[in-house]
Chain A
């Protein structure tokens, strides 16, 4: 790759600068993130891991624009984020599909307000139904399909909007091992075709090493206003990655104890 031209075209898609979040309850304050800095580059796949309660979901909600930061800012393509939008879409851990809409209608939901012809909308829906392998199930309701299929619908309904950033909060955590592996492969193949930037939260270190270009390990803040410790571990392995390979295991071990 040409280093010069790379530096020329690339500016970060997401630029997190001194990001802090304190939840203010009626009686107490919960500091969750403090002075967090990192960048995500176009087409990059970043996984975020860390102990439960270290603020991974909070970070994702901040990136999505669901909640405002207490201090610092998040730039999306150079502009401060002010709220949620279809350029940064979230796949939630839980099922957040509209239960009264069929699979196809759920996927077409975000296109409703768009200035596209009905035929164009239909063909986009069909394309993404096909990409996630749910064409046969397009007329089913969310209550009638499995958890893995639901997450595929959740993925398709945002991919159809061509978001530049995909935010995924433990999207496969509730799935059984086989389905999870299928979903990982599906996600990787979609990402290779569509090249969005993906921020993917997982507590599963193997999943992080399997998927990401870089894995961000978040630490817990103890006491008040300590800079949120993070380690960014590059994963320089070719895909598809072999979980039993030595490099894979070494990287997993490094993520598990990043201070060593």
Chain B
């Protein structure tokens, strides 16, 4: 019973949806039936050129989106971890960074879109900029609080065992802050997908967000729903991948989360 608990709500929703479609409670131009969605998804993923505008585009769109998310998230990770850990340990750096970071954080990411389009044009750079900007904050904030809350006894213990600053950072500070860092990275990756779609809605030719926007203009509700479901799955899959990659690479992650 406990094991099926997570699936009860999705399954109910799916049944309700199928029922509503078959009984004609909702017209297909508002919400196509689950079967139609499945067909569309099949064509989108496995189809060949002759089968309509979206046939077989899945691989290309996904690769384009993954590339943008990867670039933006990677940028946010590098900046967020370095600045975050630094400000978590050095009060002067925290004082320097916290006001601008909190100021910028208060601005909803979507308000950057017009400016980003002016600066970077439509396409890769704008999307990467939006993704990186949005993912930066959770990564930075969690790294900072994780680094600040490291038990000072651990660092003292290291110092007395003859550990220098650099080894202290990589062998004590970062492993001790690892649970917070992982939380920040996962939140950052989640928000990356949201801002990916925002960036791609601005009119790039490929990508999962672009497909959704394109489908809206052609009135292909089925394709919009397929896009939404695929983005949800990609988000879940990438989170799982990130978590397990971190656990695989760092014993401090494997043993503390």
- Which residues of A are in contact with B by a Cβ distance under 8 Å? 64-66, 83-86, 88-90, 92, 94, 96, 98-101, 109-110, 112-113, 141, 157-158, 161
- Interface hub of B160, B162, B163, B252 (most chain A Cβ within 10 A): B160
Partner of A113, one of B153, B162, B175, B178: B162
B241 at the interface (CB under 8 A from A): no
Rounded to whole angstroms, the CA-CA distance of A110 and B168 in the bound complex is 11
Given A84-B156, A90-B157: A100 and B162 within 8 A (CB)? no
- Which residues of B are in contact with A by a Cβ distance under 8 Å? 151, 153-154, 156-157, 159-164, 167, 171-172, 175-176, 178, 251-252, 255-256
For B153, what are the chain A residues with a Cβ–Cβ distance below 8 Å? 92, 94, 96
CB distance A96 to B162 under 8 Å?
A: no
Those 9 A-B pairs whose CB atoms lie nearest each other, nearest first: A110-B161, A96-B153, A100-B252, A86-B162, A84-B160, A84-B159, A96-B157, A100-B255, A100-B175
Partner of A85, one of B157, B160, B175: B160
For B163, what are the chain A residues with a Cβ–Cβ distance below 8 Å? 110, 113
Q: How far is the CB of A39 from chain B (nearest CB, A)?
A: 22
Rounded to whole angstroms, the CA-CA distance of A65 and B156 in the bound complex is 10
CB distance A96 to B161 under 8 Å?
A: no
Given A64-B160, A158-B161, A161-B162: A100 and B178 within 8 A (CB)? yes
CB distance B162 to A110 under 8 Å?
A: yes
CB distance A157 to B256 under 8 Å?
A: no
CB distance B151 to A96 under 8 Å?
A: yes
Given A98-B154, A100-B178: A86 and B161 within 8 A (CB)? yes
CB distance A100 to B161 under 8 Å?
A: no
Rounded to whole angstroms, the CA-CA distance of A99 and B159 in the bound complex is 17
CB distance B256 to A99 under 8 Å?
A: yes
Given A83-B159, A85-B162: A96 and B154 within 8 A (CB)? yes
Q: List 25 A-B contacts (CB under 8 A).
A: A64-B160, A65-B160, A84-B159, A84-B160, A85-B160, A86-B160, A88-B160, A89-B161, A90-B156, A90-B157, A92-B156, A92-B157, A94-B153, A96-B151, A96-B153, A96-B154, A98-B176, A99-B255, A100-B175, A100-B178, A100-B252, A110-B162, A113-B163, A157-B161, A158-B161
CB distance B171 to A112 under 8 Å?
A: yes
For A85, what are the chain B residues with a Cβ–Cβ distance below 8 Å? 160, 162
CB distance B255 to A141 under 8 Å?
A: yes
For A141, what are the chain B residues with a Cβ–Cβ distance below 8 Å? 255
Q: How far is the CB of A62 from chain B (nearest CB, A)?
A: 13
- For B162, the closest partner residue in chain A by CB is A86
For A112, what are the chain B residues with a Cβ–Cβ distance below 8 Å? 167, 171
- For B255, the closest partner residue in chain A by CB is A100
- For A161, the closest partner residue in chain B by CB is B161
Rounded to whole angstroms, the CA-CA distance of A83 and B156 in the bound complex is 11
CB distance A89 to B255 under 8 Å?
A: no
Q: How far is the CB of B107 from chain A (nearest CB, A)?
A: 35
CB distance B160 to A89 under 8 Å?
A: yes
Q: How far is the CB of B253 from chain A (nearest CB, A)?
A: 8
Q: How far is the CB of A199 from chain B (nearest CB, A)?
A: 14
Given A113-B162, A161-B161: A96 and B175 within 8 A (CB)? no
Q: How far is the CB of A77 from chain B (nearest CB, A)?
A: 17
